Amino acid sequence: MLETAGLTKRFGGLTAVDSVDFALADDELCSLIGPNGAGKTTFFDLLTGALEPTAGTVRLAGEDVTSLSPDATARRGLHRSYQVTNVFPTSTVLENVRIAAQAHGDDSFRLWRNVGAFEGYYEEAHRILTRVGLAGRADQPAESLSHGEKRQLEVAIALAGDPDVLLLDEPNAGVSSESVGDIIDLIEDVARDHAVLLVEHNMDIVMNVSDRIVVLNRGSVIADGPPADVRGDPAVQEAYLGGYEPGELADAEDDVDPGEEPA
C-alpha cells in the first residue's frame, strides 16, 4: 500500500533519513520507533510531501507520489495526525471534522457555504465522532476539550475523507496515564479498516498494538519485525529500549530532528 525505496533526506552535512526501504501492507499496523533525532518525524514529512527527499521514492497504491504536495498526497488517501494538536479552537468539534471531510471532497474550495448545502459531510463527521468517542462533545468548541479529547479529535480529523493509510504521530502525547487504554482502543479500532503507521514513545502502546515494529537510529533502519523479535534485538536494546519491561510507561517526548525545517 505504501512503499519507499532508498528514501534519503540530508540537511547540509546531516543525513536525517538514510536510504530507507520500507513497505506497509494494506491490513497492517506498523510502529516506527527510535530515539529522539532518529529521523522519525522527517520520515513522516517525506511520506506526506511536507519535505522533498534528497534521493529515493515514495509510492502509494503503486503510484509514485514522491514529488506531490501534502494536499495532493492526502487526496490520494494518505492522511496524517500531528504531535502538536492542530485544530480550529473556536469552531465546534463537529465543524472541525466537517471541514476536514469537505476538504477531501468535491467541495473543498467552498468551505464556508450555507451549512445545509453539505449534509453528507455532516453525516460523515457525526459517524467519525461516534467512532472516536466524541459524539457527546460535537456541539462544543474544540478549545473546551481536554488534552486527551483533543488527541481524539486529531484522529477524527485524520479519518475524514476515508483515507487508505493513516500516519499517527504520537497520538498519546501529553495524555494522562489513566487514558492510555482509551488511546490503545482507538488505535486498534482505526487499524481494523486502515493501514496504520504509528510513531509512539510509549512502549506499552507500541508492544500492545503493533503487528510489526520498525526501528530507526541515526536515520537508518536497524530492526524490522514482530514486537517480540524487535524487543529482544541487541542493537535495539542498545540504541533505544534499554531495560524496558512491559508496564513501564515511556514518557512522550518531542521528536525533533536536528537541522529539520518546520513542516
Q: What is the pLDDT of residues 170-200, one digit of tens each?
A: 888 777 777 778 878 888 999 999 999 999 8
Answer whether 216's CB lies under 8 Å from 40's CB. Answer: yes
Are residues 146 and 177 located together in one domain of the fold?
Answer: no
- Structural domains of the chain, count: 2
For residue 221, what pLDDT is reported?
A: 96
Other Cβ atoms within 10 Å of 225 Cβ, number: 15
What cell does 64 get?
Answer: 509514485
Are residues 94 and 149 located together in one domain of the fold?
Answer: yes
Task: Give the DSSP H or E segment for 98.
Answer: helix 93-103
Are residues 212 and 176 located together in one domain of the fold?
Answer: yes
In whole angstroms, give the CA distance from residue 111 to residue 85: 21
For residue 53, what pLDDT is reported?
A: 97
Are residues 176 and 60 located together in one domain of the fold?
Answer: yes
In whole angstroms, give the CA distance from residue 166 to residue 168: 6
> Nearest 5°: CA angle at 25, between 221 and 30?
50
In whole angstroms, give the CA distance from residue 182 to residue 95: 23
In whole angstroms, give the CA distance from residue 244 to residue 24: 26
Report the DSSP beta bridge partners of residue 17.
Answer: 9
Domain span including residue 17: 1-77+165-263
Answer whether 124's CB lies under 8 Å from 109's CB. Answer: no
| Amino acid at residue number 105 | G
For residue 114, what pLDDT is reported?
A: 54
Are residues 49 and 130 located together in one domain of the fold?
Answer: no
Q: What is the pLDDT of residues 84-94, one digit of tens each?
A: 667 889 999 99
In whole angstroms, give the CA distance from residue 44 to residue 139: 32
| Domain final position from 112, 129, 162 | 162
Are residues 243 and 134 located together in one domain of the fold?
Answer: no
Are residues 262 and 175 located together in one domain of the fold?
Answer: yes
Are residues 177 and 70 located together in one domain of the fold?
Answer: yes
Per-10-residue mean pLDDT, the chain, length 263:
96 95 95 92 95 97 94 91 78 93 67 61 94 94 90 90 90 76 86 93 87 95 94 85 58 42 38
Exposure on the CB side of residue 245, measured as CA atoms within 13 A? 0
For 13, 50, 143, 223, the CA distances from 35, given in Å and listed in that order, are 20, 22, 31, 13
CATH for 29: 3.40.50.300
For 60, 74, 99, 152, the CA distances from 105, given in Å and listed in that order, are 19, 11, 10, 22
Asked whether the CA dihedral 35, 37, 42, 43 is positive or negative, the reply is negative
CB contact set of 13 (below 8 Å; sequence gap of 6+): none
For residue 135, what pLDDT is reported?
A: 95
User: What three-state secondary structure class fits 120?
Assistant: helix
> Nearest 5°: CA angle at 39, between 37 and 69?
135
